Amino acid sequence: MILDDIMRRTEKRVARLPASFPEKNPRTCASLTNAIRNSNGKNAVIAEIKCSSPSHGIIRRNVDMAMMAGVLVRGGCVALSVLTEPYFFGGTGQDIFRVKTAVSVPVLRKDFIIDERQIAESQAIGADAVLLIAALLGSRLTGFVDLAKDYGLEPLVEVHNAADVELTLATGATLIGINNRDLNTLTIDRSTTRRLSGSIRSAGRMIISESGMRSADDVREMKPYCDAFLIGSSIMSDNYPQKKLKEFVCA
């Protein structure tokens, strides 16, 4: 399965990380939560910069990260998600730095976080928030959520099923992303957000629907079940990404 391949590569990457990173600096991270809340009546969209993916292959070639970040901010996104996984998504940690130097919106580091050193690395490369996947971390999730907060990072915990939700609601995570894509089969089912949103809403957490938004109609369909959207491939593959993003923001 593709997830197994990704994890094998991730484990090799993590093994090469230094034992420590520079001491935590005093910078104040931009708040992803506040950015979503202050979307001024428009749809809160986290636009994702990614060059490729296992499901789509090459999405966009020769991406200038700083330039693309500016394009997407002008398109109305409340925040940016940056893929830093190199082998399957064509990213690098330096992409976070390039984006942060170009824009002031919150920047989420999206990767496969399985080691505490990756949290320290995320803070060191300038991320404001970090993705934590419940299914990968299991019983270690609470510790990773707390560690991210210790580093001044907002944890966005990604869930795929009811068991993930139960695990995540036992942590202090405010932001919960419901991924409509099955990580094992790569198939998309937007009803995942509909099925899982109720218990998350009841717990007073913020919901971000991830994956599967291809049109403004998709966003309108899912708006009752979430507070924000994380959209990547549909924007990055479009000839006019700023215009495409505006369609989602204004749907």
The residues annotated with a catalytic role in the active site are: 48, 50, 110, 158, 179, 210-211
45 three-state secondary structure: strand
Integer Cα distance of 118 and 232 in angstroms: 23
Within 13 Å of residue 188, how many CA atoms lie on the same side as its CB? 11
The burial class, CB within 10 Å (0-12 / 13-18 / 19+), for 1 is exposed
Confirm if 136 and 10 have CB atoms less than 8 A apart.
no
Integer Cα distance of 92 and 83 in angstroms: 7
Nearest to 49 by CA among 102, 113, 115: 102
Q: Considering only the C-alpha atoms of the chain, give the largest distance between any 2 of them, rounded to a whole number of Å.
A: 47
Strand segments (E) across the chain? 45-49, 52-53, 57-58, 79-83, 107-110, 129-133, 154-159, 175-179, 206-210, 228-231
Integer Cα distance of 137 and 18 in angstroms: 21
- Buried/exposed code over 8-35 (b: 16+ C-beta within 10 A; e: otherwise): eebeebbeeeeeebeeeeeeebbebbeb
Cα–Cα–Cα angle for 97, 81, 113, nearest 5°?
A: 85
